[in-house]
A and B are shown apart, each in its own frame.
With several copies, the nearest count.
Chain A
Amino acid sequence: MTDTPTIDSALANAELVVRTIAEEAVAQEEYFGSLDAVVGDGDFGYSLARGFEFVIAEWDNIDRTDAGAFLTNVAVMITGHIGGTSGPLWGTAFLRAGAHCMGRTELGAADVVEALRGAIEGIKKRGKADVGDKTLLDALVPAVDELEAAFAAGKDTKAALATMARAAREAAEATSSLEARRGRASYSGERSIGSVDAGAVGVAVLIERVATIWPTN
């Protein structure tokens, strides 16, 4: 796969992605909370912010043996400090992604996609959920599909991320027409139709932020 672009320095990139997500999650606390309040219980923003605040506070102490160790350590911090549904789900996602990066210093496009697919499988299993249940999977899965396609089409990372972000945003907005079948929103049944899923929009916002700050070239 010499024609796919290569991301240099797996650890540096993992750090950049995690730091960006963490800062954005803290910044968006109120907005994410308000999304979850429509048919959920309003704490999605709070939970995420408290967890990633901790990651930021402990930033210098995170294991930096390699990208895999780094992500695994972040996963442990998340499960230890995010409560609610998001703690186990996001923790599992980072844990699975970390497992795919263990011992690597460089990650190719295929590796990144594989790590993300691992995260998705982890979320599905942990949450007993799938695409269409009106969860963050409804933004994450199409976003990863598009990322893979963009890489396959030869786009560079910055461009591929932009494509991924657009897909995530579109898919997140589209959750509005779905009826929730998982999580607290599912208790609303039909009343959940007409508003977007908080987790899906959250994922879109975070991917957009990563796409924006990603250095050109």
Chain B
Amino acid sequence: MKKFVNDPKQFVPEMLRGIALANPDTLRYVPAYNLIHRADAPNHNKVTIIQGSGSGHEPAHVMTVGRGMLDGACPGDVFAAPPLDFITETVKLLASDKGVLLLVNNYTGDRMAFEMAEEVASADGLEVRTLFIDDDVSVKNSTYSVGRRGVAGNFFVMKAVGAAAENGADLDELVRIGEAVNAVTRTMGVALTACTPPAKGSPLFELGDDEIEVGVGIHGEPGRRRAKWMPANDIADELLGAILPDLPFESGDRVAVMVNGLGGTPISELYLLYGIIHEKLADQGFTIGRNYVGDYCTSLDMAGASLTLVKLDDEIELLLAEPAEIAIRVF
């Protein structure tokens, strides 16, 4: 394994320290709970929004804390939901008078931990609601009763509720908005290589030199099928072929499009893929209202990408267009 890492057990804390040191004015770091939060949280004029999940998906979610996005993120170790305590302590520390919204990607471990945390916090008299995100079309709801996975589409839920909270929306309203966004968001990914968790030190799965995994999960979970490598045009067809009929998206729809890198793929390839997808969508009568190209929700160093489509209505589009400021910045 060749990574920038010291002791693999300190991978997450050392990364969090880096984020904190890079953003002294806007962020605070509480090492005891892997917590990164806004320097001005809790803000009692807005609902507090917290995301927890395993680490290894950066910039999600520890780098998406900031004005118009999250108030705090409490990640677990790489690919592991945070321990219960991390969540309950985070909720206690950041709870606002307007309540707390927990954003959780739909995985067994995360569901359990956050359901327990909501119980604990409610018992403490805090107003807490939890929103589960499940945008991954590669896992069929019918077949596996654990339900769909939450992947890069998470960004859109965060952005929309983050903007609405900044504008003063109350907890019920945020839950409504978050559910509405989740309901029109669909994602599927493809892996060109496996990822290597620091503590494991070797690739999580085997992928031949000419193989790709279609429908891969962001923890290296297998997808729909193992396939031979194919040109970007054909990969675009695979992804669109899975996503479009799922909602379904229909010709004439206005959509937001995200081509998300999984960590090891350079942005040049993401834009190449975006260009193909944009043209295919335009050819099928879609209007692209907003686009996103880059790394939003990664799987450590996995080479690959996911495609997310969001069916836009005026409310969602306006919320996505609101300003926001997070650790990830260019200038």
Contact = CB atoms under 8 A, between A and B. Distances in A.
Direct A–B contact in the complex, CB atoms closer than 8 angstroms: yes
Interface of A: 33, 37, 39-43, 46-47, 50-51, 79-89, 91, 126-128, 181-184, 186-189, 191
Given A85-B109, A87-B113, A186-B144, 14 more contacts: A41-B204, A42-B197, A43-B79, A51-B83, A80-B83, A81-B83, A83-B113, A87-B83, A127-B112, A128-B145, A184-B107, A184-B217, A186-B146, A188-B222
A47 B113 contact: no
B80 to A, nearest CB: 4
Nearest to A183: B108
B150 interface: no
Contact of A89 (B82, B112, B149, B221): B112
Contact of A87 (B81, B145, B149, B200): B81
Given A42-B204, A50-B9, A184 B77 contact: no
A79 B144 contact: no
Closest 3 CB pairs of A and B: A84-B80, A83-B76, A80-B85
Contacts of A39: 222
Contact of A126 (B80, B112, B205): B112
Contacts of B85: 79-81
B200 A187 contact: no
Contacts of A89: 112
Given A43-B199, A80-B85, A186-B144, A88 B113 contact: yes
Contacts of A127: 108, 112
Interface of B: 9, 54, 76-86, 107-109, 112-113, 116, 139, 143-146, 149, 197, 199-200, 204-205, 217, 219-222
A79 B146 CA distance: 21
A61 to B, nearest CB: 16
A55 to B, nearest CB: 13
B146 A182 contact: yes
A82 B78 CA distance: 12
A82 B197 contact: no
A33 B145 CA distance: 25
Given A79-B85, A87-B83, A88-B113, A187 B78 contact: no
B222 A88 contact: no
Contacts of B197: 41-43
A161 to B, nearest CB: 29
Contact of A88 (B78, B109, B204, B220): B109
B112 A85 contact: yes
A189 B107 CA distance: 15
B81 A85 contact: yes
A87 B54 CA distance: 13
Contacts of A188: 221-222
A119 to B, nearest CB: 15
A184 B83 contact: no
Contacts of B143: 189
B199 A46 contact: yes
A43 B80 contact: yes
Given A43-B80, A85-B81, A187 B139 contact: yes
A199 to B, nearest CB: 11
B236 to A, nearest CB: 23
A43 B220 CA distance: 12
B205 A79 contact: no
A42 B300 CA distance: 14
A82 B80 CA distance: 9
B204 A87 contact: no
20 contacts: A41-B219, A41-B221, A42-B79, A42-B204, A42-B220, A82-B83, A83-B76, A83-B81, A84-B76, A84-B80, A84-B109, A87-B113, A88-B109, A88-B116, A91-B84, A126-B112, A128-B145, A187-B139, A187-B222, A189-B144
A127 B116 CA distance: 12
B145 A181 contact: yes
Contacts of B145: 128, 181
B144 A88 contact: no
A215 to B, nearest CB: 34
A50 B77 contact: yes
Nearest to B136: A187
A87 B83 CA distance: 6
Q: Most B CB atoms within 10 A — which of A89, A181, A184, A187?
A: A187
Contacts of B109: 83-88
A183 B81 CA distance: 12
Nearest to A86: B109
Contacts of B149: 187
A41 B76 CA distance: 14
Contacts of A191: 222
B204 A184 contact: no
A50 B77 CA distance: 10
A86 to B, nearest CB: 8
A46 to B, nearest CB: 5
A181 B77 contact: no
A184 B221 contact: yes
Contacts of A91: 84
Contacts of A187: 139, 144, 146, 149, 217, 221-222
